[in-house]
Amino acid sequence: MSQEKTAEINLVVSGRYLVTDSQNVLEQENISVAVSKDRIVEIGDNLAVKYPQAQCLSHAHGLIMPGLINTHTHAAMSCFRGLADDLPLMEWLQEHIFPREAQLTSEIVYQSTLLSLCEMIRSGTTSFNDMYLFAKDVARAAAASGVRAWVGEVLYDFPSPNYGELENGFTYTEDLFEQYAGDDLITVTVNPHSVYTCSPSLLERMAAQAEEKQALYHIHLAENQDEVHTCTERYQCSPVQHLETLGLLNERVVAAHGVMVTEEEIKLLVERRVKIAHCPESNMKLASGVAPVPAMLAKELVVGLGTDGSASNNDVDMFGEMNSAAKLHKVDQMDPTVMNATQTLHAATLGGAAVLGAEAAIGTLAVGKKADLIMLDMNQPHLTPVYNPVSHLVYTAGGGDVFHSVINGQVVMENRQITTLDEVAIFTEMKRIGEMIQRMGQ
Ligand SMILES: [Zn+2]
């Protein structure tokens, strides 16, 4: 057990199982994590007794683990959940999503992001990487919730319902960087939508902005066969080769999907230190294909998990995403040994942190790291008996099993009650927005 001499202990979280990372599990009565301000300062036995003045979140059958990290989502798309399903990607986008996105407002994005944040907190996500329109409203919602967020305004060649002409998109992003400079919870990123919606010059200009700001370059890449066809027609090469030719593959790139990548391209992505946000449920629902994640992991490419938006998933529950990821690769490879529980939990925690360049701060529970942690109630029929907690986390648990959540040392959910957001007000507002969105299609 380790300890750091520090200031006052504000919070002690105490349970029966402690998953410090995907490979280390302790089982012990009253195993505890002590938090001072935003950091973990001590891990040990029965710390609630040692620090009686601290707030205590305790459960006799509790499992304490790092909060889950969603490396690719569009939180505000919760407003389109279930609006149109079971359609080919282009028909879905062009007939149902794009016409409505064109009518989005700052307020719809703010409220819809709040709704997703409620769902994220309730299902154990403590960090998310978002790409969407009206990113200032996404950031404002994230800040209100206390959830750690990477946020960027999506840019493409055509005018945006948010900023209008492309040039204004750069100014908007500049404002975001200024507004959140040095913020503890919000990190601003640069978000070109994709190689098929952004010209080479736009991709290059945004890369220069990412370089100047030392920011992540978050892009959809090699999502499906259509993207490869379009790219091949226009540039005579694959999406990955296109970015390579432009000299844009580097350690800042967070590539969402990476479904259509060859063995050679995986090697190139490793060499260029590109990171992958793997979104298996979205890839399944839109029939995009299966990302070669076992091959990526074998070559030590950094892979995190993401839900993508709620219109193509249709939720942001990272426990569900782990379950799907582990099973999808087994059936795809016809090999039950691939994408095992440890690898899958790693992708949803420390792997995700590494995708975001934040592995020194989050992704595991250790003294000195940020206090981003969740507790699950293991005293439930589907989680009994417990032979291997990591197996349960990947194959059995769901977001509804999470009952406490702490982010940056702040308790954001206690006994399944969100402390930072008014859920009743958000649901009421979203019902009104839902009716509005329904009418947009008429
Ligand atoms: Zn996406």
Partners of 65 in the β-ladder: 374
Domain check: are 75 and 108 in the same one? yes
Q: Are residues 258 and 403 in the same domain?
A: no
Mean pLDDT of 89-97: 84
Cα torsion 135, 139, 145, 148 to 10°: value is: 110
In a domain, 231, yes or no: yes
Does a structural domain hold residue 430?
no
Per the document, the length of the chain is 442
Structural domain harbouring 274: 68-355
Question: What separation in angstroms does the CA of 411 have from each of 35, 43, 69, 156, 372?
Answer: 11, 18, 17, 38, 10
Dist. CA 311 → ligand 1 center (Å) = 10
Instruction: Provide the sign of the torsion angle of the four alpha carbons 230, 314, 396, 342, taken in this order.
Output: positive
Q: What is the pLDDT of residues 5-43, one digit of tens each?
A: 546 999 999 999 999 999 999 999 999 999 999 999 999
Neighbouring-strand partners of residue 98: none
Percent of the chain past pLDDT 90, that is, above it, reads 95
Q: Report CA(315)–ligand 1 centroid distance (Å).
A: 13
Place of tokens 């702490």: 406
Residue 351 CA, ligand 1 centroid: distance in Å: 19
Average pLDDT over residues 60-71: 98
Average pLDDT, the chain: 96
Q: Which of 301, 332, 355 is the last residue of a domain?
A: 355
Same-domain status, 74 and 14: no
Q: Is residue 434 part of a domain?
A: no
Please indicate, yes or no, if residue 361 is contained in any of the structural domains: no
Same domain, 283 and 377: no
Ligand 1 centroid–CA 73 distance in Å is: 6
Q: How far apart are CA 419 and CA 216, in angstroms?
A: 30
d(Cα 13, Cα 31) in Å, to the nearest integer?
A: 8
Q: What is the count of structural domains for the chain?
A: 2
Same domain, 152 and 173: yes
With 0-12 CB in 10 A as exposed, 13-18 as middle and 19+ as buried, what is 152?
Answer: buried
pLDDT tens digits, one per residue of 225-279: 999 999 999 999 999 999 999 999 999 999 999 999 999 999 999 999 999 999 9
> Is there a single domain that holds both residue 51 and residue 101?
no
Q: Token digits for 120?
A: 């994220």
DSSP lists the bridge partners of residue 14 as: 32, 58
**Residues in the 5 Å CB sphere of ion ligand 1:** 308
**Which CATH number do you get for residue 171?**
3.20.20.140
For residue 189, give Cα distances in angstroms to 165, 409, 436: 20, 24, 30
In a domain, 133, yes or no: yes
CA of 75 to the centre of ligand 1 (A): 10
Phi, psi dihedral angles at 398 (to 5 degrees)? -130, 170
Å from CA of 58 to ligand 1 middle:
37
79 located within any domain: yes
In the predicted structure, residue 408 carries a pLDDT above the cut 90 = yes
Rounded to the nearest angstrom, the distance between the alpha carbon of 74 and the centre of ligand 1 is 6
Answer yes or no: do 256 and 296 share one domain. yes
Say whether both 215 and 82 belong to one domain: yes
For residue 408, give the amino acid letter.
N
Identify whether residues 107 and 40 lie together within a single domain. no
Task: Determine, yes or no, domain membership for 232.
Answer: yes
Q: CA 401 to CA 173: how far, in whole Å? A: 37
State the pLDDT confidence band at 373, using cuts at 50, 70 and 90. very high
Q: State in Å: Cα 429 to ligand 1 middle.
A: 25
Distance CA 200, CA 161 (A): 22
**In a shared domain, residues 26 and 128:** no
Distance 220 CA to ligand 1 centre (A): 6
Question: Do 283 and 401 belong to one domain?
Answer: no
Write the CA distances from 406 to 145, 206, 241, 401, 410, integer angstroms.
Answer: 11, 34, 41, 15, 5
Residue 359, pLDDT above cutoff 70? yes
- The string over 318-331, giving b where at least 16 C-beta atoms fall within 10 Å of a residue's C-beta and e elsewhere, is bbbbbbbbbbbbbe
* Cα(365) to centroid(ligand 1), Å: 29
Ligand 1 centre distance from Cα of residue 390 (Å): 28
Distance from the alpha carbon of residue 191 to the mean position of ligand 1, in angstroms: 11
Residue 298 lies in a domain: yes
Distance 300 CA to ligand 1 centre (A): 23
**How much distance in Å is there from the Cα of 279 to the middle of ligand 1?**
8
Mean pLDDT of 184-197: 97
3-state helix, strand, coil in the chain (%, to 5): 40, 25, 35
pLDDT at 442: 66
Kindly report the CATH number assigned to the domain that includes residue 403: 2.30.40.10
420 Cα–ligand 1 center, Å: 27
Phi/psi of residue 309, each to 5°?
A: -75, 160
Q: Cα of 72 to ligand 1 centre, how many Å?
A: 6
Considering the domain architecture, whether residues 216 and 229 belong to the same structural domain is answered as yes
Distance (angstroms) between ligand 1 centre and the Cα of 128 equals 13
pLDDT grade, residue 149 (50/70/90)?
very high
Q: What is the pLDDT of residue 128?
A: 99
Expressed in angstroms and rounded, the spacing between residue 308 Cα and the centre of ligand 1 is: 5
Residue 237 C-alpha to ligand 1 middle, in angstroms? 22
| Ligand 1 mean position, distance from CA 379 (Å) | 36
